[in-house]
Structure 1
Amino acid sequence: MQILVASLLLLVASAHAKLLTLHSPRFQVLNKKGEQTRSEPISLTQKSKSPVALNTTDTLKITFQVIDKDSGDGFQPHQTFLRFYDATTGEEGIQPIRVTPGGKAKFQLDVARPPNSLPPTGDAPLAVSLFIGKPEYSPVVAELFDLHVPHSQPAPVHPDEASFHPLPEIHHAFRPDQKLPPKFVSAVFSALVIAPWAILLGLWSQVSPRLTHAFSPSILSFIASLGAYEVLIFYYWVNLTLGQVLLYGGILAVVTLFTGKYALRSIATRRVNKN
């Protein structure tokens, strides 16, 4: 429903929009001496049948006055510009036109010094169109004529352009995957790691230590605190950060200190009682 109402409002607004037109629209072609070689009126409803051809010394001049169609008073529209369009290449250029408060406008195209808005030209003509717009007025879009101008010169070569060229393709060289050492080398180093433990167990068997008090609460708590250190190191390798290890290690250090003193005190007490 809202879309229907909006469409009706647009239709009503367009029906009540004011109309603008041009007074004495005309284009002229002048040679290098300023002499007029062609002059024709411009029609807003019909495109000129004969193209306009310019050479390197000609000048194209377009003049008109924008007026209210009902009152005939001249006024300054909000937008007035020419469009140069090459249908073969799709290139286009937009050239604004200065209009006085009274609606008078004049545009000159000097082929010797073409404006930047003129697109690159070749054999195909440029379609010239006029666009005029102002709020409360119906816009004007008129195809004026086809324009033939001399071929545009190629863009000058920048002095540093020769140094810009495609570089050779980059081939990334990655380090090869690490390979496992030979089994013999792994076995030798594994034996070196296990050897101290084997020697320790061998010497321990010669001493024949008695572990009667190893599982007493005082000794077991100290051994558990030492084992907690080993677990902490393992988790540091797996998941923990250095800051977490220092925090947890500090807490375990306090616990190990007290359990160690308690274990030493219990051993000393036991020896004193034996004596």
Structure 2
Amino acid sequence: MSSWTFFVLAFSSLAAAASGAWTFEDAQAVVAAKGGKVDAYKFSPTKPIKEAISLGPKEILKVSLTIKEDSKVGRPHQAFLLVQEPESKVEAFFPLTVKELSGKGKVDLSHKDLPAFLLTAPSLSLSLVLGSFGESAASVVTIGNVEPSLDPTAKALLEKQKQKDIGGETVIYKAKDEIRHIFRADPQSPPKIITLVFLLSVLAGLGGLFVVWFPILGGNLSHLPRALKAAPVSHPLFFASLLSLEAIFFMYYTQWNLFQTLAGMAAIGPVALFSGSRALREVRVRREKGER
């Protein structure tokens, strides 16, 4: 179903209880060239133009009329000239310029306005589409036919352009091939044996650190009560934040994604920074006093 059909149906539903309709009067179509008026055709909503209008490359089709809402002049929300190729139903729209007070509307049509797939057609139907908000019903009125006249050279060039636009197919609109999206597989964890090797290496390093801490590095647990008394919040909080960071890394390795991990780091990081600075400040005070 074409777009203008949807347009008409939309306004028809709004005008179910309409007492009037959009129409026009004093309508004429004039084919003009640089030398002046060539031909003039009168038409009305009930009497379209009988003979086909010939439109040459250097000519302009000028359509003018007075738009009325029921019996009063008006300016509709939509007013345009519909040009359609009857066989394929390919169409194009050309809006009318309408004056608000007088309701006089006009539109010009020439070869340069028509796309190649319409300009190469033997005959085109012309219709006026009028409609607006409110109770008045919309209208689609056929006013006549136009036959674009082309010289053989120009017609051959337009046929090539037409085939290029539609891909050389006899069917202009058709379904395209199905697009199948292939997403990259989720990253996999390394083999368990490698994970266990690195885990044992880390545990062995920590164990070795605790072994050499007391006899070589001068570890002294006797200062623990004094440290906790001087900074009762900073030391436990700093130690807990370090364990929390390790727990976050473990969750990232086993279950969490990157966004969850970053959220956890953003919550624990400032706590570790604040409590760690206070805890290390207390340690520095004891070191300055020569206590280890």
Scaled by the length of structure 2, what TM-score is found?
0.48
2:59 pairs with 1:58 = yes
TM-superposed CA distance for 1:81, in Å, is 0.7
TM-superposed CA distance for 1:119, in Å, is 4.9
Q: What is the RMSD computed on CA atoms of the aligned residues? A: 3.7
Alignment of 1:98-177 (within 5 A): 98-102=97-101, 103-111=103-111, 114-115=112-113, 119-136=117-134, 137-151=136-150, 153=155, 154=157
Contact 1:25 1:62 in 2 (8 A): yes
Whole-angstrom distance in 2 between the partners of 1:143 and 1:49:
11
Whole-angstrom distance in 2 between the partners of 1:80 and 1:13:
17
Whole-angstrom distance in 2 between the partners of 1:130 and 1:24:
14
| Moved >3 Å (runs of 4+) | 10-13, 116-120, 155-158, 252-258
Q: Percent identity?
A: 20
TM-superposed CA distance for 1:22, in Å, is 0.9
Whole-angstrom distance in 1 between the partners of 2:38 and 2:124:
22
Which AA in structure 1 matches 2:20?
A: K
Correspondence for 1:239 among 181, 187, 192: 192
TM-superposed CA distance for 1:77, in Å, is 0.9
Whole-angstrom distance in 2 between the partners of 1:88 and 1:129:
15
Instruction: List gaps (5 residues or longer) in structure 2.
Output: 1-11, 165-188, 211-292
2:38 pairs with 1:86 = no
Whole-angstrom distance in 2 between the partners of 1:117 and 1:135:
31
TM-superposed CA distance for 1:146, in Å, is 1.0
Contact 1:94 1:117 in 2 (8 A): no
TM-superposed CA distance for 1:36, in Å, is 3.7
Whole-angstrom distance in 1 between the partners of 2:92 and 2:190:
68
- Name the counterpart of 1:30: 32
User: Against the structure 1 CA distance between its residues 157 and 88, is the aligned structure 2 distance closer, same or farther, given a 3 Å change threshold?
Assistant: closer
Contact 1:18 1:138 in 2 (8 A): yes
Alignment of 1:65-76 (within 5 A): 65-70=66-71, 72=72, 74-76=73-75
TM-superposed CA distance for 1:34, in Å, is 0.6
- Name the counterpart of 1:77: 76
Which AA in structure 2 matches 1:106?
A: K
User: Against the structure 1 CA distance between its residues 96 and 252, is the aligned structure 2 distance closer, same or farther, given a 3 Å change threshold?
Assistant: same
- Name the structure with the higher helix share: 2
Scaled by the length of structure 1, what TM-score is found?
0.50
Contact 1:20 1:68 in 2 (8 A): yes
Task: Say which one has the larger Rg.
Answer: 1
- Name the counterpart of 2:16: 14
User: Against the structure 1 CA distance between its residues 119 and 98, is the aligned structure 2 distance closer, same or farther, given a 3 Å change threshold?
Assistant: farther
Contact 1:60 1:110 in 2 (8 A): yes
Contact 1:23 1:66 in 2 (8 A): yes
Contact 2:120 2:158 in 1 (8 A): no
Instruction: List gaps (5 residues or longer) in structure 1.
Output: 1-9, 162-235, 259-275
Which AA in structure 2 matches 1:134?
A: S
- Tell me the matched-pair count: 168
Whole-angstrom distance in 1 between the partners of 2:14 and 2:37:
49
Whole-angstrom distance in 1 between the partners of 2:133 and 2:46:
21
User: Against the structure 1 CA distance between its residues 135 and 117, is the aligned structure 2 distance closer, same or farther, given a 3 Å change threshold?
Assistant: farther
